[in-house]
A and B are shown apart, each in its own frame.
Chain A
Amino acid sequence: MRRLRGIGIPGAILIAVVIFFVWEIHNKGWTLFFTLLVNGLTLGSVYALIALGYSMVYGILKLLNFAHGDVYMIGAFMGFGVLSLLGGALSPSVNVWVLIALMFAVSMLGSGGLGVVIERFAYRRLRDAPRIAPLISALGVSFLLQNSALILFGSRYRDYNTFDLVGFGGIHIGDVFIWKMRIFVVASAVALMIALTLFVARTQLGKAMRATSFDREAAAMMGVNVDRVIASTFFIGSALAGAAGVMFGLAFGQIFHFMGFLAGLKGFTAAVVGGIGSIPGAMVGGLLVGCVEAFSQGYANGNWSDLIVFGILIVFMLVRPTGLLGTRAIQKV
């Protein structure tokens, strides 16, 4: 009982939302449920990759990188650029798998490089400044990227058109129709996350990252090149965001210059829900946020789905700021 007392009104709202979903599933049948579930898992794996970038940067610098969502948007546009250069989805001039591999490679390298540049020029000088300074700088970077994309690419939507991509149809499982592209997207997200986990756990650089995030000064004293570790963290996090951008384009088709803002917020929500700083947490949080969004679009009015997602964010921040899988952080003075 003592544990429950702290939950109060937010918890009651959460329970009400769950009851609402159960009631709607009962009413509208299982086919819709599974269709939405597939949507949610696809969207969720994109959010999970964004969340990883937030989580890694937050873990190492204690900085909320507002520009992360916009790096994801730039990544999506880079993938689109490669796709259009090689003839578009309908008549690619190379093998489909080569095309997709190239899209990922260019987007990940480009976004990673962008992340390193952002860190070098917008955040590095502010590492020891008052906490509010890098946040405002990050806000500025976010606007700079968003409006640069607007002036370079225009405000119209671009279509990856991957539903017609050669060799990718869909499959029927019972009544449920699943695009193969979505399966591919979820699988590649999982593969990237496994690779990241292994990288952080097994390699020298991964060890240096963990040391730096634990205590930057102590790590520097032990001979870790902190600047380089932070730069590589930004590179990896932003590369994952770029991959997420390409995945979103592949799975859902439409990209535009403002897509990074909301996706960034939701990626951050996923990071907080899962427990910031935790890699499996980001995965779980991302899938949860993606499913909640898909279900609220399917069952409630789609316009309000963002509000539901952020409602969950607030509940989590207030009730369990460490997230589902995070560890309790003690504020050092």
Chain B
Amino acid sequence: MSEIPPITDQPDAPKIGVDSWVAASEERVERARGARGLALGAFERTPPPFRLAAFVAVACTLPLFVSSGNLFRYGFFTLVYVMLGLGLNVVVGFSGLLDLGYVAFYGIGAYTYAILSSDLHGIHWPAEVTIPIAIVVAAVLGLILGLSSRRLLGDYLAIVTLFFGQAFVTFVNNANPKGLTGGANGIGNIDNISVFGYTLTTTRQYYYFILAAFVVVFAALWSLVRSRIGRAWMALREDALAASLMSIPVNRLKLLAFVFGAGIAGLTGAIVGPALTGVAPGNFDTSILITIYAVVILGGAGSLAGVVIGAIVINVSYELLTPATPDRARWLFYGVLIVALVAKVRPWSRLVTVLVTTAALGFALHELAAVSSSTATTGEVNTGGFLTGAIRSWVVIPESPGRLPDYGYVLLIAMILVLTTVKGWWRVALLAPTLYLAAFVWENLLIEQPSVTRLILFGALLVALMNLRPQGLLGTARVEIV
């Protein structure tokens, strides 16, 4: 770092080729010191094949040391989101085409595999045949959907693809139970994947299988996006008209992006279907779509490593926010709040003020509620493990809350929105009640329905990221060229 001379700001020097945004970005990289700078620098210096190798090494060995029954399942689904994110990244991140029917290709892959090797139609083709067929079927349908991108742009394309996803679910759902796709119940008893005589039966084996598929897809995409095609995709994303003037075959490249995205999704589907031993229409609805979008946008559209990190973050929060483990969900919630506060509230005096005020406010309100009504603080704490005692004496949990948490939820959203508009000490003053309200709503409403909560959070994440940090964690910021 030291050999790079500092950018000297001479007012009269001509700044040919230095855009204000580029300069700001370089300055930011220069400034990122400390642990974050070190990590960023180390990441930047590592050659990409080594990054992949390091990731695979960790992914291979980690489950051997940590003994938890579900770990392979978590790992498997993390890799599923990574694969889906990689495919979507080709369409949205590199080519800039908003494809809202992407989940359909995932479903098409899974259904193709299921139709060709299950008891439903009595066909039991081997996986060496059905997986390529699933990829090809998904890719061909991707090509057909992509054809609409020849004439439609932006919002119109988005709505047609959204319809395509909806049409797939409608089609699958309304088929005859004995018909092609098994109707609303889906297809059960799918054959396990069996490659060259070796049959995958356990989650562990599926985990390693999808890890292998991930390595192939990742390596292929990594070399693809650095090739002529990848550069052409990015040119197309930045300015389709300019790209076509540079003799880039715009339409063909759009189709190619759709085909690649759909093919990867089809492959993923063909692995997930047998791993779950069944496919049903509900597995491919819009809640999966929002999760995949959250993965890609959080990681940074257009960044392959970002997708991996985004998928890990999203899947970990997805698995923690399940009805079975409210105590882990609680750790996640309070942990994220504390980390966000520590990272964002500066200086330290202000942070301490906020934390102390919040704690004091909580105890005061708790006392007040306990005095005013005998049932206001005697509600059941949803099994909290270590935190239970602290929560019981800090958060107001009425025995029969009625509609109160609902009003609290609406008020909480309003307060968060107001928080984003005020500055300075006003923000500090508002932060404490907002935090306490968040804890109140969390304990009384959100923790009861984690599967809805996570979709709310993913939706909010998309809005917040788009407004505050559209490049995600690892993406590169884009500037609109006027």
Is A313 engaged at the interface, CB distance under 8 Å to the other chain?
yes
Nearest chain B residue, comparing its CB with the CB of A318: B151
Per-residue CB contact flags for chain B residues 409-453 toward chain A (1 = under 8 Å, else 0) read: 110010001001000000000000000000000000110010011
A301-B174, A307-B170, A310-B163 as given contacts; A333 in contact with B241, CB under 8 Å: yes
Is B156 engaged at the interface, CB distance under 8 Å to the other chain?
yes
Q: Give bound CA distance, A141 to B465, whole Å.
A: 12
B456 interface neighbour in A122, A126, A130, A144, Cβ under 8 Å: A144
Q: Please tell me if the beta carbons of A129 and B470 are within 8 angstroms of each other in the complex.
A: yes
Per-residue CB contact flags for chain B residues 124-159 toward chain A (1 = under 8 Å, else 0) read: 000000000000000000000000100110111011
Is A198 engaged at the interface, CB distance under 8 Å to the other chain?
no
Please, which residues of chain B bring their CB within 8 A of the CB of A128? 480
A143-B455, A314-B148 as given contacts; A265 in contact with B417, CB under 8 Å: no
Q: Please tell me if the beta carbons of A134 and B156 are within 8 angstroms of each other in the complex.
A: no
Please, which residues of chain A bring their CB within 8 A of the CB of B174? 301, 303-304
Report the minimal beta-carbon distance from A313 to chain B, rounded to whole angstroms. Answer: 7
Please, which residues of chain B bring their CB within 8 A of the CB of A135? 98, 154-155, 158
Nearest chain A residue, comparing its CB with the CB of B481: A130
With most chain B CB atoms within 10 A of its CB, the pick from A136, A137, A268 is A136
Q: Please tell me if the beta carbons of B480 and A129 are within 8 angstroms of each other in the complex.
A: yes
Is B119 engaged at the interface, CB distance under 8 Å to the other chain?
no
Please, which residues of chain A bring their CB within 8 A of the CB of B445? 151
Is B160 engaged at the interface, CB distance under 8 Å to the other chain?
yes
Q: Give bound CA distance, A143 to B160, whole Å.
A: 19
Q: Give bound CA distance, A313 to B241, whole Å.
A: 26
Q: Please tell me if the beta carbons of A151 and B156 are within 8 angstroms of each other in the complex.
A: no
Report the minimal beta-carbon distance from A76 to chain B, rounded to whole angstroms. Answer: 17
Q: Please tell me if the beta carbons of B480 and A136 are within 8 angstroms of each other in the complex.
A: no
Q: Please tell me if the beta carbons of B154 and A317 are within 8 angstroms of each other in the complex.
A: no
Q: Range of interface residues on chain B?
A: 35 or more
Please, which residues of chain A bring their CB within 8 A of the CB of B478? 130
Is B61 engaged at the interface, CB distance under 8 Å to the other chain?
no
Q: Please tell me if the beta carbons of A144 and B449 are within 8 angstroms of each other in the complex.
A: no
Is B221 engaged at the interface, CB distance under 8 Å to the other chain?
no
Q: Please tell me if the beta carbons of B170 and A306 are within 8 angstroms of each other in the complex.
A: yes
Report the minimal beta-carbon distance from A52 to chain B, rounded to whole angstroms. Answer: 17
Per-residue CB contact flags for chain A residues 126-150 toward chain B (1 = under 8 Å, else 0) read: 1011111111110111111011101
Per-residue CB contact flags for chain B residues 84-116 toward chain A (1 = under 8 Å, else 0) read: 000000001000101010000000000000000
B92 interface neighbour in A63, A132, A143, A301, Cβ under 8 Å: A132
Is B234 engaged at the interface, CB distance under 8 Å to the other chain?
no
Q: Please tell me if the beta carbons of A151 and B155 are within 8 angstroms of each other in the complex.
A: no
- Which residues from 33 to 63 on chain A have a C-beta closer than 8 Å to any C-beta of chain B? 58, 62-63
List 27 interface pairs A-B (beta carbons < 8 Å), by A numbering: A64-B154, A117-B417, A121-B420, A122-B463, A128-B480, A129-B480, A130-B478, A133-B470, A136-B462, A136-B466, A137-B467, A139-B100, A140-B460, A143-B458, A146-B455, A148-B413, A150-B452, A265-B159, A265-B162, A272-B156, A303-B174, A306-B166, A313-B163, A314-B160, A317-B160, A321-B152, A321-B156
Closest 8 pairs (CB-CB, A-B):
A140-B462, A143-B459, A64-B155, A144-B459, A140-B463, A137-B466, A303-B174, A310-B163
